[in-house]
Amino acid sequence: MDIKLIAPPLKHILSRYLRDAWLILTIVTLTMALGAVSAIAAPYLFSRLIDQIEASPVGTWLVAAFMAYAILMGLSFAFQRAAGFLTFMTSESLNFVTATSFFERLIDKSSDFFLDHNPTEIQSAEAKGEEALNIVVQFALAALLPASVQVLLSLVLLGNVLSLDIALIVVVYGISYIALVYYASKVTRKHLDAAIEASQDSSKFIGNAIGAMDTLRQFNSSVWMTGQFANRQSAALKGWQRYAMAHVNFTILFGLSLTLQFAVTLWLLVPRVAAGELTIGDLVLFNTLLLQLNMPFQMLGQAIQQIAQSYSRFLPFARMWQAPEHETIENPVSLTLENGQVRFRNVGFRYANGRGVQDADFTADRGAITYITGDTGAGKSTLFKLLLKSMQPQTGRIEVDGIDLGKISRKDWFTAVAAVPQDIVLLNDTLATNIVLGRPFDHARMRRAATRAAILDFIDGLDEGFDTVVGERGLKLSGGERQRIAIARALYADPAIVLLDEASSALDAETEKDIMDQLRRICDQVTIIAITHRLSVIAPNDNVVHIAPDMS
C-alpha cells in the first residue's frame, strides 16, 4: 500500500471537508443511526406480537401494538431514504473541497509537471480522485455506519432471545464473509490498477490528440490516431474484464459460505422449536434477523470492495498531488529595486539529457535594450526559465541589484518582472481579461499598454473592442496580434524588468520596429532583456550578449 502517497491528500481534503460540513454530517449520522435502530426494533416487536396472538385473544391493545409496528417500519424506511438524500447533499460539498484543493495544489506545481501532463490527463485524474473520495465517504456513511449498528443490535437480540451459539455462528459467518471480500479485493487489485493506469494513459492520449487535431487531419493521420486510441481503450477494457472475471471466480465461495451458515443454524434451531424450547415467533425473528444480518455484512463487504477500488482510482490523483511544487524560499529577502540591474554570474544549468546552458556571464542594465543572441539550441530560453524561477541555476547565480535571485520570493519577483514567452498562451476570454489577467483593473493603463504594444488601433477597430473574445488559446487572432496582446499584458502593470523571448518574431518589420522603439523610449526606467534571432532589430546603442552552445 502506498500509504505515504495517499495519506497527505486524504488528510488535507478530509480534514477540510469535516471542518466545512460537520453539521450536515452529524445530521446524516443521526438519521442513519435512527434508521438502523428502527429497522431492528420493528421485526423484534413483530415477533413478540405474533407470540401474543397465540397466547391471548386479540384485543384492542394488540391491534394498537401492530399499528406501532407499522409505524416503526414506516419510520425506518423514511429515515433510510432521508439519509440517502442527505448523503447525496454531502457528496456535493466533498466534490467542492476536492476540486478546489486540487486546483490550489496545481497552481504551485513546478513547470516540469506541465511538461509531463496535459490538461485532459490532469482533469481525468482529478475526476477519478473526486469519485474515489465520494465513494469512500458515501460508503462510510451509508453502509459502514448503519451496517455496523444493525449488526451489533441484531447480534444482541440473537444472543438474548435465541441462543449464544446461534449468535456465534452469525459472527463467524460475518467475519469469514468480510475476510473473503478483503482477500478477493487484494487478489484482484492488480487487474484494477492495470485498468485504471490504462484509462489514465488513454486520457493523456486524448489530451495530446486534441492539442494536435488540425495537424493530424492535415497529415491524414486520423486513422492512425484512431487506431492508437482504440488500442489504449482496449487495454483499459481488458483490464476491467480481467478484474470482473477474477471477482466472478470468487462467487462460488460466497455462495457456499451462505449455504453453510443457514444449514448449520437451522440444523441447530429447528429441533429446539420442535422440543418447545423456542416459539414459532422466535423462528420468524431468527429468519428476519438472519436475513437482516446478512444484508449489513453484504453492505460491509461491498464497502470494503468499493474502498479497495477507490484506492486504485485515487492513485493518479495522489501522484499528481504529491508531484514536486515550486520551491518556497525560507526567509526571503525583500526586493526593492533601484537600478533594476540583472547580472548572470557564470550561470549553468543542464537538463536530465545533458543539454542546457553553461557559464552565462553578462549584465543587463537600464538605458539600452539587452539582446541575447546565439544559435538555435544554445540555451537562450533556458536562461529565461532560470530568470523566471521555473528552475534554479546548478552553477553560478543570478543577481538582481546585487541580491541573489534565489533569495527573492516568487511573489516579489513576479511583481517586478514581466515576460513575453516564445509560445504565447491566451485564455479563451476577452482581450481585456487577457491583458489585465486578474490584476487591479485600470482602463487608462490598459489603453497605454496597448499603445506601447502597437495594438490599440487594431482593438479599437474591432466591433467589441477590448470585449472581443479571442478563442481557444487565442487562435482567433493572428500570431502577430497574439504577440502584441502578450506584450501589452507584460507592460500593463509597469514592471521594473521586461523579458521578451522572440517576442516580435511574428511581426512585420514595421510593427516590430514600432514596438521596439516604444520600448527603447522607456528603457531608462525599465530593464529590458530580449532574445532574438533577427539581428536587424538591434540598434547601435543596444547591448548584445552572444550565448555559445554548451560544448562540454
Q: How far is the CB of 369 from ligand ATP (least distance, A)?
A: 18
- CA dist 431 and 436 (Å) reads 9
Number of residues interacting with ligand ATP: please give it, by CB under 6 A.
13
Smallest distance, ligand ATP to C-beta of residue 551, A: 12
Q: Which is nearer to ligand ATP, 268 or 391 (CB)?
A: 391
Q: Is 402 exposed, middle or buried (0-12, 13-18, 19+ CB in 10 A)?
A: exposed
User: Could you write out the DSSP letters of every residue in 417-478?
Assistant: EEEE-SS----SSBHHHHHHTTSPP-HHHHHHHHHHTT-HHHHHTSTTGGG-B--GGGTTS-
Q: What part of residues 100-139 is at the interface with ligand ATP (CB under 6 A)?
A: 115
User: Measured from the CB atom, is 375 or 464 closer to ligand ATP?
Assistant: 375
Q: Tell me the closest approach of the beta carbon of residue 400 to ligand ATP, in angstroms.
A: 20
Judged by beta carbon, residue 113 or residue 182, the one nearer ligand ATP is 113
Question: For the window 339-358, what string marks contact with ligand ATP as x by the rule CB under 6 A?
Answer: ------------x-x-xx--
Query: Closer to ligand ATP at the Cβ: 356 or 495?
Result: 356
Torsion of CA 153, 155, 158, 164, to 10 degrees: -150
Task: Please state the closest distance from residue 530 (CB atom) to ligand ATP, in A.
Answer: 12
Which of 339, 392 has the CB closer to ligand ATP? 392
Of 303 and 388, which has the nearer Cβ to ligand ATP? 388
| Residue 88 engages ligand ATP in binding (rule: CB under 6 A) | no
Comparison of 406 and 421: residue with beta carbon closer to ligand ATP: 421
Query: Min. distance of Cβ 503 from ligand ATP in angstroms?
Result: 12
Spatial neighbors of 495 by CB under 8 A, at least 6 apart, are: 416, 417, 418, 526
HSE-up of residue 221 (Cα within 13 Å, Cβ side): 12
Minimum gap (Å) between residue 536 Cβ and ligand ATP: 16
Nearer to ligand ATP, 340 or 374 (CB): 374
Q: Is 349 helix (H, G, I), strand (E, B) or coil?
A: strand
- Sites for ligand ATP among residues 375-404 (CB under 6 A): 376-382
CB of 362 to ligand ATP, least distance (A): 15
Least distance (Å) from ligand ATP to the CB of residue 549? 8
Query: CA torsion, points 514, 517, 519, 524, in degrees to nearest 10?
Result: -170
CA–CA separation, 548 vs 379, rounded Å?
8
- Number of residues that make up the chain: 552
C-alpha cell at 148: 455496523
Q: Minimum distance from CB of 342 to ligand ATP (Å)?
A: 17
Smaller CB separation from ligand ATP, 376 or 552: 376
The least distance separating ligand ATP from the CB of residue 379, rounded to whole angstroms, comes to 4
Q: Which is nearer to ligand ATP, 35 or 356 (CB)?
A: 356
Quick check: 297 and 147 in contact, CB under 8 A? yes
Provide the CA 63 distance to its chain's centre, in angstroms: 57
256/259 Cα distance (integer angstroms): 5
- Shortest Å, Cβ 386 to ligand ATP: 10
Segment 504-533, which members bind ligand ATP (CB under 6 A)? none
- The residue from 129, 239, 374, 474 that contacts ligand ATP (CB under 6 A) is 374
Stretch that binds ligand ATP, among 27-35, 70-78, 97-105, 373-381 (CB under 6 A): 373-381
* Contact of 6 with 314, CB cutoff 8 Å: yes
3-state helix, strand, coil in the chain (%, to 5): 70, 10, 25
The residue whose grid cell reads 469535516 is 18
Nearer Cβ to ligand ATP (91/505): 505
Q: What is the spatial distance between Cα 109 and Cα 104, in angstroms, rounded to a whole number? A: 9
Distance CA 359, CA 548 (A): 9
User: What x/- string results for residues 260 through 299 when contact with ligand ATP is judged by CB under 6 A?
Assistant: ----------------------------------------
- Quick one: which of 484, 482, 481 has its CA closest to 473? 482
Q: Which residues bind ligand ATP (CB under 6 A)?
A: 115, 351, 353, 355-356, 374, 376-382
